[in-house]
Amino acid sequence: MGTTLSYILFGFSLITFMMGVQEFLRKSSQKRVKYYYIATEMSSSIWSFCFGLIIVQTSSDTAALLRSIGMAGIFCFLASVVSLMMYWSNIHGKTAFCIRCFLLLAIPLYPFTISPSIATFERIPFGMSYELTPGLWNTFYTFYTLSIALIMIVLIIVMAKRSRKRDHVTAYGVLTCEIIILLGMILDTILPQFGYKALPGTAIAQFFGALLLGIIYHGYVKSQVTLENMSNFIYYSVNEPILIYDEMQRLKIVNNSAAEFFGDSVHEDTDTPLHEIFDVDEHILEMRGKHIGIEATCLCNQSYCMLGIDRITDFYGDTQGFIIVISDMTEKLAAIGALKLACQKADEANEAKSRFLANISHEIRTPINAVLGMDEIILREAQSQDIKNYAANIQSAGKTLLSIINDILDFSKIESGMMEIIEGDYLIGTVLADLASHISLRAQKKGLKLITEFDPNIPSVLYGDEVRIRQIILNILTNAVKYTETGAIQFHASCTEQSENQVMLDIFIKDTGIGIRKENIPLLFQSFHRVDEKSVHNIEGTGLGLSIVQRLLKLMNGTIEVKSLYGIGSIFYIHIPQKIVNHQPLGSLENSLPVMPKEYKASFEAPDAKILVVDDYKLNLQVIEGLLKQTKVQLTLISSGKECLQKIQHETYDLIFLDHMMPELDGIETLHQMQNMPENRNQNTPVIVLTANAIAGAKEMYLKEGFQDYLSKPIDSRLLEELVKKYLPDEKIYKV
Ligand code: ADP
């Protein structure tokens, strides 16, 4: 029986020894607590070993020696358990110092507890045993061990009082451990005090205590966030599903988010290969690089995922494992799909809007052509001044209507990115003078004074888009007149030289009109937005002008600024960089402002010239006839493509005007057939398209189809005459 117990204790000793060694070999950044724990397990091992050996001894001297070593183990065990508990209960400062001093009392006490007089050894049937001789040192020893038990209870209470759950678990664990040891102590410490033979009860109990401490210790370490286990906490707590494979491609970690994502189908510490979880190549983890990102469908839940696979390597570059971060793209893809659909719908709606704008303006331009054209003829031919006045009013209203349609067209051109800046040489003096004379008429009508200030040093010939520059300045000038009831309009133009070949054209237009509220200034350039609706509702406008001006300026790298005082007036500053073609200064424009011709007079006559005009809208034919009347050209007016194809076989013309939109055979088809007809006697005759289609890119399209030039409706009588003059043979033109 004694021998068996001796073996059992020897086994206990070995187990606690191994536990100590194992902890010693484990890497840990928590050095202090680690060494307390190792000391606990090692001293427990010595304790079990020595007291186990005592039982099988025959010589009391050897038994006494073994007891002496065992006692050292006991003191060390008590000291290291208390230190461990102090660490766990976070005791510092003076209290910790006092406890440590008390633990050190073991050193002076130790020699007395091993003195030969303190214990008498005797063999009993069970094996070697000893009896403690009652005396001062024994009482001290008992007092010491009971005090330590008391300190432990206090430390347990401190731990239990803390709010963390793991402190509570540790406290109850240590309490259980202490109770076990106290029970064991009855056999070899308490009973021998009363003269009973000592049995190694504490040696057995302390082993279970040490085992329990091991469990508590490892539980504590595991739940503590340290450098070593930080990665575990990260893997488990991140929201993204993560799988970790080891170097043998065994699934080691499935974080919480991944467990939720895969449901019950994927588990930690299994051999489930990646290609059984996702539709990926079965050799995917044999990757060479450190990272790959692939798209794959999850075989467990059919989600469409993005996998980020990182190969973890050691110092030597050998693979240690793989981290697979999974991004579920299903919802994102659905959102992207929905966004794409919404974009497509918005694009379609925008296109439909542009088409609608283009169509509506085309439809409106056709009748306006007749109105303005006929009106122009009345203006030219009427004898009565009253009728001329009425016609002038019709012309003014018609032109306003036309400018609104032109704005809408420009807007749709800009929106579709088709607005082009067409640059060329131009005379800035002519532009300024034209604009001034144009606006002076409107200003006069309202009783406004027009003050012009043109810097004579502006270089006379510049390079830029003359048409758009005229449009921009005219828009601001028109607004100034529109929104001013009394006072004056100041039109100022100067320039600042930027480089040898470039000037900044600085223009400002000042009025004494209704002004703009400060808070409305940023809203001025929004499309279709009219600020201060109440005060401007009786003034015609669409709220498009300034928005177009700003966008045109942007295309030319120019800028616009506004300063205004509500009720007092506004100033619009425009700056446009322009290239210099001729440095010669403009000089004074005062006397050269062109006077608008009051009476129309044809610029040439061509009685021998033959012109064919094709348009299905009879009124338009009459307009052209009326507008070209004074030039005396011979006009043949027909109303269909078919008729045109017949006429050209029998007659040679000097010029052909061909409408685009006609029923049956449209202008483009007619032109193509004309070009392919051997009987056509007009192969070399210029054909000019007549069209109300003025949308973005229209002119380019017609030229590409084979027309020589382009004339948009409503027909600008001046432009019509210029075109006729340009394309008729010189010998048929007579100056008037
Ligand atoms: P529209 O004149 O056709 O309404 P604009 O884009 O040219 O459109 O102008 C936008 C708004 O800015 C106008 O409706 C008007 O309220 C304001 N505005 C423009 N110019 C002036 C000005 N010179 N004085 C006062 N208000 C102006």
Q: Is the pLDDT of residue 498 over 50?
A: yes
Give the chain's mean pLDDT.
86
Name beta bridge partners: 326.
Answer: 307
Q: Check residue 362 and give its pLDDT.
A: 73
Q: How far is the CA of 399 from the centre of ligand 1 (A)?
A: 18
Using a pLDDT cut of 90, give the percent of the chain over it: 38
Mean pLDDT computed over 194-223: 82
Mean pLDDT computed over 219-243: 73
Q: How many residues does the chain have?
A: 736
Q: Is the pLDDT of residue 535 over 70?
A: no
Q: Check residue 267 and give its pLDDT.
A: 86
Mean pLDDT computed over 522-542: 74
Q: Check residue 338 and give its pLDDT.
A: 93
Mean pLDDT computed over 487-492: 95
Please give the Cα distance from 723 to 715 (Å, whole number).
11
Q: Is the pLDDT of residue 104 over 60?
A: yes
Please give the Cα distance from 249 to 271 (Å, whole number).
8
The ligand 1 atom at the shortest distance from the C-alpha of residue 513 is 24
Residue 601 has what DSSP assignment?
-
* CB of 480 shorter than 6 A to ligand 1: yes
DSSP string of 455-517?
A: -TTSEEEEEE-HHHHHHHHHHHHHHHHHT-SSSEEEEEEEEEEEETTEEEEEEEEEE-SS---
**Token pair listed for 405:** 């349609």
Please give the Cα distance from 155 to 149 (Å, whole number).
10
Query: Highest mean pLDDT: which of 262-266, 535-539, 691-695?
Result: 262-266
Q: Is the pLDDT of residue 661 over 90?
A: no
Q: How far is the CA of 479 from the centre of ligand 1 (A)?
A: 6
Please give the Cα distance from 265 to 246 (Å, whole number).
19
* CB of 477 shorter than 6 A to ligand 1: no
* CB of 546 shorter than 6 A to ligand 1: yes
Q: Check residue 183 and give its pLDDT.
A: 86
Task: pLDDT band for 58, please (50, 70, 90 cuts).
Answer: confident
* DSSP H/E element including 382: none
Please give the Cα distance from 708 to 725 (Å, whole number).
14
DSSP string of 180-230?
A: HHHHHHIIIIIHHHTTPPP--HHHHHHHHHHHHHHHHHHHHHHHS--HHHH
Beta strands in 8-105 (DSSP E): none
**Token pair listed for 567:** 């009720």
* CB of 524 shorter than 6 A to ligand 1: yes
Q: Check residue 596 and give its pLDDT.
A: 47
Q: How far is the CA of 524 from the centre of ligand 1 (A)?
A: 7
* CB of 138 shorter than 6 A to ligand 1: no
Q: Is the pLDDT of residue 40 over 80?
A: yes
What confidence tens digit (pLDDT) does each residue in 3-26 have? 888 889 899 999 999 999 999 888
Q: Check residue 591 and give its pLDDT.
A: 54
Q: Is the pLDDT of residue 321 over 90?
A: no
Please give the Cα distance from 480 to 451 (Å, whole number).
12
Structure-model confidence comparison of residues 159 and 609, the more confident one = 609
Q: Is the pLDDT of residue 417 over 50?
A: yes
Using a pLDDT cut of 70, give the percent of the chain over it: 94
Query: Highest mean pLDDT: which of 81-90, 174-183, 380-389, 472-481?
Result: 472-481
Q: 705 to each of 67, 106, 393, 698, how far by Cα in Å? A: 117, 112, 39, 11
The ligand 1 atom at the shortest distance from the C-alpha of residue 480 is 23
* CB of 536 shorter than 6 A to ligand 1: yes
Q: How far is the CA of 544 from the centre of ligand 1 (A)?
A: 9
Q: Is the pLDDT of residue 581 over 60?
A: yes
Q: Check residue 367 and give its pLDDT.
A: 84
Query: Highest mean pLDDT: which of 41-55, 310-324, 352-366?
Result: 41-55
Q: Check residue 227 and give its pLDDT.
A: 56
Q: Check residue 366 and give its pLDDT.
A: 79
What distance separates the 2 farthest-apart alpha carbons in the chain? 157
Q: Which amino acid is at 453?
A: E
Q: Check residue 724 and give its pLDDT.
A: 94
